[in-house]
Structure 1
Amino acid sequence: MTASPDDQDRLQELVGALTRAAASAPAHGAEIEGAAGAVAAVDRLDGTAQAVAGSTALFAGDGSLLEEASPEVTPVEGNTLFDMASVTKVVTALTAGTLIDDGLLDPEAPIREYLPSPHPAITARHLLTHTAGLPPVMPLWRLAGDREARLAAVSRAHLEAAPGSVHAYSCIGFILLGALLEGLTDTPLPELARVRVLDPAGAMTAGWAPAPPQAQRAAATEYQEDPPRGLVRGATHDETAWSLGGSGNAGLFATLEDALAIGRVLAGRAPGPTLSDAVRTLMTTDQLPGVSTDAPWRQGLGLRVGQESAPGVLLPRVVGHPGFTGTSVLADPTTGTVATLLTNRVHPRRTWFTVDRSRRELARIAFA
């Protein structure tokens, strides 16, 4: 069906403003609202509006603008792949939800029943709700050894709080969750998520580590010096996830349609996967009513519950997750509306651009 013209116009202005700001930005180092490339969409039961703007790469390593004739400067299109960063956690959580429904994962059981861990009190619920007491990040790329050695370091990580006592966002917790799901099923997480979530949802081009032809379509992210990777494009931006290969905290790539397909799962109107009402309730309602948090949103099982439409103004029904690279997937299960914003705001440096106001504007367009 035809989307609302108002949705279409407002989305086009949103992505246009972001990319115009980036294209006119001097080499500054001061954070402004902008991104080299951006796509956005609002998907309602009566139609979908979407907008596309910008370039997949815009800056050289020294921060200067690339020449328009440079082969790196290609227009963002509907099939451009974006590094979804922590939106990956949505797919990891959905994968865990299918295993809970199948009786393969008990969210209340200690994880040491499933994999080696020196922490007897940590459960899958703690990992999914960021209450395990684990540190937020670890520089795993600096550790010698292979993937197994780095995962072993994660499992031995020193706890910063007693499990269940504090809500503190932790990528390390979702790395451990991904390892847990792999151990339960003897299947690498990217393959497990493909079979259980992405294919059933219709996110046919989403996945970890895109093949070279697809990677060339990806939006560029950051010029990295630690680790010394140069321009990261078509490979995972998050250094820790990159050092592990397939990881539960970051590493998913997706197109605009893939992101909408994932959002439709959260909204409860995707062709699959089929989740029980009990698991959906765990994911889409606050699981920490007695735990204080400085965040404006509340915490479901793997999802954030509530989205700001203005500073301090929360839309409580909206669930989803943002990503550090400038992405977000949102859904309102009560209306079926889905919204997504995909950008590469970390190009050329993570400190140059933000998309915080644009995320709030997207929430106003879609849900307010």
Structure 2
Amino acid sequence: MRGTLLALVLTAITATAAGPACASPPVGAGGRFDRPQDGFSSAETVLRPGSPEQAGLAAAPIDDALRRIGAWTGPTPGREHPMFAGAVALLAHDGVVVRHEAFGKEVRYSDAQGTELPPQQQEPMRPDTIFDVASLTKLFTSIAVLQQVEDGDVDLDTPVAHYLPEFGGQGKQSITVRQLLTHTSGLPSEVQLWKLPPQERIPHVLRLSPEKPPGTAYQYSDPNFITLGVLVSRMADAPLDQVVRERITGPLGMDDTGYNPPPSELHHIAATEFQTEPPRGMVRGEPHDENAWSLGGVAGEAGLFSTAHDLGVLGQALVNGGGYGEQRILQPETVERMLTDYNGAFPGDGHGLGFELDQRWYMAGLSGPRTAGHTGFTGTSLVLDPDSRSVVVLLTNRVHPTREWGSNNPAREAIAQAMAEALAVRPERGSESWGAPAAAPATLRTRDLGPVAGQAEVSFDAFVDTQRDPDGADPLLLESSVDGGASWRPVPVTANGPGAPEGPQQSLAGSGHRAWWQVRGTVDAQPGQHVQVRWRYAPDKQYTGRGVLVDGISVADRDRTLLDGEREPQGFDPRGWAPVHR
């Protein structure tokens, strides 16, 4: 399981030597967040080293996030312990690996209490460190299932019991393959197989009873994917690890990815938890997940080991619609189905076939209807965004030495947000727009517009990518004052454009559309009153989006233009807002 750095170098050399006909295609999206791409990238798009500038990205947001991730391997504000012992991050746009960096330690502690090993026994994290990716394993199982669907061996809407007759009892006879993939089967979330005799473990899973009627609720379930792993193996008449190796990791050249890594690779693998129940000591090179471990290290829900580069290859292959160079693991129409939300009846639990969709809590500003990914309990995450042609991988050993030290969700969110902010939102008019930071309140206030002839019409362009929240969090509001700013009142607005809300709105919020809106509002003023207008962005501190921008501002009454923002940028008092060129 070696060869990560060599693979990147060889990829670059091969592309250069082959000449223009074989070189990777040029940057397609041009680093644009506001120009979502249709379909998928070309299969010719393969990972190659580069820089943010070469990919059309701003480096500063990425570098800032990586500085924070590095700092979180040490004393972390608000925590008794570091967020994680070590981490590896990889960010790619249009196939250009703009950053691939390692922080902290592969091995740092000797026991569950966090006793640090002597410095000479600690091992540094490296870009090619191998991680137990935990539930990211589910993505490989999903791909294997969909390959069998393409082969005609499996049908998504056929009951699982058709393929695994022993699964059909205890009220499970109607559960379909699709319901396992979308976590709508109703099966329990967890099992503790290591407490059972080895010969009883898989039969126990197949005999489970649903806790909820199939298809009526979303409930994340490891037994769903343990069952799918059995299904893949049964239909292929081969062990799951062999299927994954021969049909996914082998064709994609993912040499550092597999189950049960050999002892020779132990010193390249990040340690996980010191486990006392079951009594395993410091776990390294074996699955952290107790169920996968009890099943011999090979299971549909956990057990796979991989590197940031290899997961980047998988992500790029899916952004490419299932192809990578000369290899193809899925057809584009299958990947499209994989990234389609089948859980519309369960808001907030968007799920494709194996992939989670539009989960702002770790996808941050990259969130959108087609943004797909998954997390792993050990501290891993993969986010792929076909609309911007971006892939983000974050691998940490946050359970080293114990899971009780807390979550690494802030790091997951930070690295995805960095990619979103590195992507440009070009001004809709002229060379600048006004931008508000994604996570801080801000107001953009006009000068006194003088006595008006009556009602004043406000028009502007708005780019709004914020958290959609039932309580109205993260809105952009238009407000007016006729008493010199002593008091402000809302100005209802109407917006037009892709994803814009219908009808008059008291505020604007939304995510995923990635398009400028044309917005209008009417200030209710009496003739002779002095009017001011302000744009107020009021985010909460959780799960922010790409942020908000306004441009092309114009305020006019029936007689004249009171303010042309393109010609009079000095006519604003920005408090938290700033001119944005990209």
Q: Is the 8 A contact 1:309 1:363 kept in 2?
A: no
Instruction: Look up the match of 1:263.
Output: 315
Match of 2:92, as an amino acid? Answer: D
- Given the two structures, how large is their TM-score scaled by the length of structure 2? 0.58
The structure with more strand, counted as a fraction of residues:
2
The Cα of 1:309 is off from its aligned counterpart by 6.2
Residue in 2 aligned with 1:74?
A: 123
Aligned with 1:21: secondary structure? coil
What's the offset of the Cα at 1:144? Answer: 1.5
The 2-side partners of 1:2 and 1:277 are apart by 27
Q: 2:295 aligns with which of 219, 228, 244?
A: 244
Where in structure 2 are there 5+ consecutive unaligned residues? 1-48, 53-58, 421-545, 547-582
Aligned residues: 356
Cα distance in 2, alignment partners of residues 81 and 314 from structure 1: 26
Alignment partner of 1:39 is 2:88: yes
- Equivalence for 1:57: 107
For residues 31 and 114 of structure 1, the distance between their equivalents in structure 2, rounded to whole angstroms, comes to 50
Is 1:273 aligned to 2:314, yes or no?
Answer: no
Pair 1:335-2:388 in alignment: yes
SS of the residue aligned with 1:321? Answer: strand
Q: CA deviation at 1:145?
A: 3.1
- Going from structure 1 to structure 2, the CA distance change for 1:158 and 1:297 (only over 3 Å counts) comes to closer
Residue 126 of structure 1: aligned partner: 179
Please tell me whether the aligned partners of residues 364 and 417 of structure 2 are also in contact (alpha carbons under 8 angstroms). no
Amino acid at match of 2:337: L
In our comparison, the structure showing a higher alpha carbon Rg is 2
For 1:298, the equivalent position in structure 2 comes to 350
What is the correspondence of 1:71-150 to structure 2 with a 5 Å cutoff?
73-115=122-164, 116-117=166-167, 118=169, 119-146=172-199, 149-150=200-201
Q: Cα distance, 1:253 vs. partner?
A: 0.4
1:312 to 1:45, Cα distance in 2 relative to 1, 3 A: closer
How far has the Cα of 1:164 moved from its partner? 1.1
Q: Distance in 2 between the 1:121 and 1:135 partners? A: 16
Is the contact made by 2:343 and 2:351 (CA closer than 8 Å) also made in structure 1?
Answer: yes
Describe the shift of the 1:310–1:79 C-alpha distance in structure 2 as closer, same or farther (beyond 3 A). closer
Who is 1:283 aligned against? 338
Structure number having the greater helix percentage: 1
* Contact 1:11–1:51, Cα closer than 8 Å, also in 2: no
Aligned equivalents of 1:31, 1:341: Cα separation in 2: 23
Q: Which residue of 2 aligns with 1:210?
A: 261
Give the CA deviation at 1:311. 10
Deviations for 1:159-206, whole angstroms, at most 9, x for unmatched residues? 101111111000111000100110111111111011111122221210
SS at match of 1:91: helix
Which whole-Å deviations, capped at 9, do the CAs of 1:321-348 have from their partners, x for residues lacking one? 0100000011111232111000000011
Gaps of 5+ in 1: none
How many angstroms apart in 1 are the aligned matches of 2:271 and 2:362?
29
Mapped contact 1:100–1:106 kept (Cα < 8 A): yes
Q: Is the 8 A contact 1:79 1:255 kept in 2?
A: yes
CA offsets, 1:43-94, max 9 Å, x none? 1126211221111111121322221022xx1111122110100011111111
Distance 2:406 2:152 in 1: 44
Question: Which amino acid counterpart does residue 137 of structure 2 have in structure 1?
Answer: T
**2:73 alignment partner AA:** T
* Alignment match, 1:230: 281
Residue 198 of structure 2 contacts residue 294 of structure 2 at CA under 8 Å; is this kept in 1?
no
Q: 1:199 to 1:312 in 2, by over 3 A?
A: closer
TM-score (norm 1): 0.91
Query: CA 1:11/1:204 → structure 2, altered by over 3 Å: closer, same or farther?
Result: farther
Instruction: Report the AA paired with residue 87 of structure 2.
Output: A
The equivalent position to 2:415 in structure 1, one of 347, 352, 362, is 362
The root-mean-square deviation of aligned C-alpha atoms, in Å, is 2.1
Letter in 2 for 1:255: T
Q: 1:46 to 1:123 in 2, by over 3 A?
A: closer
2:84 is aligned with 1:19: no
CA contact (8 A) 1:326 1:344 kept: yes
SS where residue 215 of structure 1 aligns? helix
Whole-Å separation in 2 of the counterparts to 1:336 and 1:354: 28
Q: Is the 8 A contact 1:36 1:56 kept in 2?
A: yes
Task: Find the counterpart in structure 2 of residue 166 from structure 1.
Answer: 217
Structure 1: distance between partners of 2:281 and 2:405: 17
Question: Would the aligned equivalents of 1:8 and 1:51 in 2 still touch at CA under 8 Å?
Answer: no
Following superposition, the deviation at residue 259 of structure 1 comes to 1.3
How many angstroms apart in 1 are the aligned matches of 2:290 and 2:106? 20
Whole-angstrom CA distance in 1 between matches of 2:162 and 2:251: 29
How far 1:7 moved relative to its partner?
6.0
Q: Deviations over 1:19-62 (max 9, x none)?
A: 1237x99xxxx676611010101111262112211111111213
The offset of 1:150, in angstroms, is 0.6
Q: Percent identity?
A: 36
Pick 1 or 2: higher relative contact order, CA cutoff 8 A, min separation 6.
1
Shift of residue 233 of structure 1? 0.3
Contact between 1:11 and 1:50, CA under 8 Å: does it hold in 2?
no
Is the 8 Å Cα contact of residues 12 and 52 (structure 1) preserved in structure 2?
Answer: no
Distance 1:9 1:311 in 2: 18
Q: Does 1:349 align with 2:402?
A: yes
Q: Distance in 2 between matches of 1:133 and 1:179?
A: 18
